[in-house]
A and B are shown apart, each in its own frame.
Chain A
Amino acid sequence: AQSVTQLGSHVSVSEGALVLLRCNYSSSVPPYLFWYVQYPNQGLQLLLKYTSAATLVKGINGFEAEFKKSETSFHLTKPSAHMSDAAEYFCAVSGRGSNYKLTFGKGTLLTVNP
């Protein structure tokens, strides 16, 4: 079984401030981990993914995430928020041998204040 918990359904930051979106996962097998972003009235697009190579993963738009096995975490960060980062962010897990199942967290809505 696999699951994802995103702490905080809504995060609000000021422009230029650090963005930290939290994701903890549960998987009985080695996981692939993903962060997707959804801009208003659009589909989801991949920000970054962890596939068992480097534990620090860099994605698009200046985002990065670090896989920490001991903490079962895959938090998403960006040093300096931009207004265009306002969107909903989803963490997802797919475990090795999970029959290609992708399980999403409930999402975190990021608001960026001027």
Chain B
Amino acid sequence: EAQVTQNPRYLITVTGKKLTVTCSQNMNHEYMSWYRQDPGLGLRQIYYSMNVEVTDKGDVPEGYKVSRKEKRNFPLILESPSPNQTSLYFCASSTLSSGGHTDTQYFGPGTRLTVL
């Protein structure tokens, strides 16, 4: 089954304790992205990657890191989490179109993070 998986689904942590949220896709997609969803703000892009070792900042990258060492995996790293990073996080993947715009993105189930 084609899917994007994220782990963990729920996480409660404390300020400053480094954490990693994993994301994996089995569709051989070049493009992967992380979003955070906050009430009234919709989804905002954190980082994205167009291929292995190619990553770039989205709209709200501060406080986050990513890496893309393998095509299928795109972990999100919070080295020193703060309470304002409490949010619902989604990973997504898609193919790349020829025109420079993204095509259908497939989303993971989400990770609900609480930073105390």
Contacts and interface: CB of A to CB of B under 8 A. Distances in A.
A45 B107 contact: yes
A34 B93 CA distance: 15
A101 B100 CA distance: 9
A31 B50 CA distance: 19
A73 interface: no
A1 B42 CA distance: 18
A106 interface: yes
Interface residues of B, number: 29
B90 A34 contact: no
A97 B43 contact: no
Nearest to B107: A43
Contacts of A105: 42
A6 to B, nearest CB: 8
Bin chain A's interface residue count. Answer: 20 to 34
A31 to B, nearest CB: 7
A104 B59 CA distance: 11
Main SS at interface, chain B? strand
Contacts of B103: 32, 49, 51
A9 interface: yes
Interface in B74-116: 90, 92, 96-97, 99-105, 107-110
A96 interface: yes
Interface in A44-87: 44-46, 49, 51
Given A34-B104, A43-B107, A45-B107, A104 B43 contact: yes
Nearest to A51: B103
Interface of A: 9, 31-32, 34, 36, 42-46, 49, 51, 90, 94-107
